[in-house]
Structure formats: structure tokens, C-alpha cells
Amino acid sequence: MVETGLPDVRDGVLEKVFPPRVQAVTTHHRADELFAELLEQVPPGLERRLSQQLLRTAVDLVAQRPTTLDLKIASAALDEMGDAFKMFESSRGVPKATIFGSARTTENDPLYAAARNVAGLLAEQGWMVVTGAGPGIMQAGMEGAGRENSIGVSIRLPFEQGANHVIAGDSKYVSMRYFFTRKLMLVKESMGFICLPGGFGTLDETFELITLTQTGKGVPVPIVFLDTPGDPYWETVDEFVRTQLVERGLVSASDTNLYLITDDCSVAVQEVIGFYRNYQSLRHIGDQLVIRLRQAPSPAQLATLNERFHHLCAEGAITVSEPFDVEQREHDHLHLARIAFAFKKHGYGDLRALIDLCNTFVDG
């Protein structure tokens, strides 16, 4: 782990660094001096404002004298996130897909073969596969992708002992204590997701992923529900969504655009890879949603976008745009084409449909 220079309260040094008089509200000047000293150790090139914010948050938390449990949670969460950040550094820039599924799936189950097959197809396309590093579907995915194309993020449980044999001992593996930090790392680095049948944990991961996309807390991503022929696990889940959630008005009908159900591994892989055929990324700038594309829409295609998706605009229309000033200052994908509009910030299922349409605007 990277040394921060922050005091460790377990060493009993809190009072040495923050005596009672320093803990008062009037001691911000001394705290600022401490922050300045710590920031001197931040390597050049890192975002100093965010570094200062992180340090201030940590020091303020300690100065508030939280309970031992609160300190344990905060310290362990930050520590293991740091381990995961460092672990992912070696694969930055390589596209990744996360595979969710049951740890209880046996090697003779058709789902095991499907997970191995879909991971192998992704690896052939230059993608890495991220899984929870356990047995079952997770092991199958790593077998398919191969050790060199696998990344593991495991959870420490009393009934699961470490990583599976494919990834154990590899530098691309990290073990985590908390489910919430693990789920963050299973989602944060990946550009696509393939969900196979599983129990409570798999459903938890899958529906949190959909919730992040539905609410805009996560960027649009391809999400595939992969069944095997004759085993309609996800079709049954989809039926529940449509008959119990959509019909009751608990979710929008367009939210079902956020995922694709298939029992064909090739279709699953094409759904993930094809999502980036023209679409590259998006960014919010003020009240504008900027969608970066490899190829700009023609006037006729732009008219179609406005005809079908004008309801997503809070005002105005969808337009072809040059890079915004902030993008130019940050040299943010200036070579890409752009469309922009004042997004209402709801209707993410329809936003996904808009991106799908943009992906048809590619020659060849």
C-alpha cells in the first residue's frame, strides 16, 4: 500500500498529532499546515485538489473520534480499495468484461461450459475477463479466458478458501473483506457485463448493476443475461420484471432495454463488443450530455435521432457538436465526433436505445 503519512490511531499517536487544543474548530490553520506537508509527498502529475480532499476527509474523520467499528470499516475499506486500484494498474487501457454467476455451478453443468465458452470468445477479441475469483461460474470464466486474460476480485468468506486454481498467486488477483468494495471493483473497470444464473449474490450484483445504469449513477454499458438452451432462468426473471415491476409502474417499460437475454455465447459477445462499434463514451458538461462517437451522424440520421428521442431533451434538440471548451483544455478525445443535448437525466433505457441507434451509423 502507498504510505500516506497519516497517523495510525492504533499506535496511540492521535493525541500527539492532535492534542485537545488542536482538535478544536479553531485549529484549522494547523490542519492546513499538516495538509500542505502531506501534499508535498504527492507525486507530480496527480490531481492535487482531490488528493487534498482525500487527506482532509481522513483527518477530519479521525478528529471526530469515531467508534472503533467506524474506524475499522473506514480503514479497511480504503486499504482494500487501494490494493484493488494498484492491481488494476497493469491492465489499464485493455477492455474488460465482468462475468457474474454462481459459485455452486459444477463442471458438468451446461452453464459451466457456457461461461468458459463466452470468456474464451471475449479473450479472442482482446478483452480481459473479471470475475469474483471463486469456484463455479467464476472459475469457468477464468478457464475460458486463460490466466493471462483473467482478473480476480474475491470476497473473504468462512466457507470459501481463497481464489480458484486459475488465478491463485497471480498479481491480477485481490481479496476483499466487504461486499460493497468488492462490487465496486467488479463494476468500476469493466465496459461490459455477462450475467449467468446464480443465487442471492448473483442477483444482488446483477440488479445493483442495472440500478446503477437505470439511475445514471453508472455509465451506459452492455449487460447480457446468458441462459443455456432449454434453461430459461433469465427469461423467468425478465417475466417477473415485466409482469410485476413494469405493470405495477415500479420501473419503466424502457428499462428492459438495459439488458439483453440470449442463450447464444456468440450473440452475448457481439452485444458487448458491438456496443462500442460507434459509441465511445459520454460526459456531462453543464446541462449538456455529450456523446462521443467514432463517426458523426449524417443530417438524415440526426433528424431520425431527434424524431425518436426528442423526448429526452429538457430543451432544444440533439445537435452535432464540436468539443466543448473544457474538453479542449483537457484534451479529452478531441479526435472524436460528438452529439450533445440537454438531457432530462431520466429515461436511461431510452438513452441506451439512442446509443444503439448511433451504433448503426457506421459505414461498412
The pTM assigned to this predicted structure is: 0.87
pLDDT at residue 326 in the model: 95
Segment 242-288, tens digit of pLDDT: 999 999 999 999 999 999 999 999 999 999 999 999 999 999 999 99
pLDDT at residue 363 in the model: 79
pLDDT at residue 160 in the model: 62
Amino acid occupying residue 206: T
pLDDT at residue 98 in the model: 98
- Assign 207 to helix, strand or coil: helix
Tell me the Cα Rg of the chain.
Answer: 23
Name residues of the chain where pLDDT drops below 70: 1-32, 35, 43-46, 159-161, 364
Q: How far apart are CA 193 and CA 222, in angstroms?
A: 6
Distances (CA, A) of 289 to 140, 329, 351: 39, 18, 11
pLDDT at residue 57 in the model: 87
Q: How far apart are CA 162 and CA 175, in angstroms?
A: 8
Segment 332-360, tens digit of pLDDT: 999 999 999 999 988 999 999 999 999 99
Among residues 7, 11, 177, the alpha carbon closest in space to that of 79 is found at 177
Sheet containing 288-293, strands listed edge to edge, beginning at the edge strand earlier in sequence: 279-285, 288-293, 337-343, 313-320
pLDDT at residue 45 in the model: 61
Q: How far apart are CA 278 and CA 292, in angstroms?
A: 9
